[in-house]
């Protein structure tokens, strides 16, 4: 199992919720960058893969999630967590 948490740092909370639609409840609004800075965010967008609470991979910038090699790495990380 895994969870998706979205962190918005510069967006208006209402606009972010409207954009995210059904994913809005997974959004953490972080206007002070406390969470983002704590994770070492340096470029937006960034995506972190956390397994058992540990960051195992960080993706900076736009990411092509449909790439076969990337999907295989994600599946392997999730399988290792079980």
> pLDDT tens across 13-48, in order?
888 888 888 888 888 888 899 988 888 887 788 888
Q: What is the pLDDT of residues 36-45, one digit of tens each?
A: 888 888 778 8
Cβ neighbors of 78 (< 8 A, separation 6 or more) are 2, 51
pLDDT at 1 over 70: no
Question: What are the percentages of helix, strand and coil residues in the chain, rounded to 5?
Answer: 40, 25, 40
With 0.75 as the threshold, say if the pTM is over it: no
| Mean pLDDT computed over every residue of the chain | 84
């Amino acid at each position: 199992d895994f969870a998706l948490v979205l962190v918005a740092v510069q967006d208006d909370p209402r606009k972010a919720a409207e954009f995210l639609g059904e994913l809005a409840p997974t959004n953490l609004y972080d206007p002070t960058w406390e969470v983002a800075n704590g994770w070492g965010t340096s470029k937006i967008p960034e995506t972190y893969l956390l397994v058992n609470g540990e960051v195992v991979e960080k993706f900076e910038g736009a990411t092509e999630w449909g790439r076969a090699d990337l999907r295989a790495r994600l599946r392997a990380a999730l399988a290792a967590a079980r």
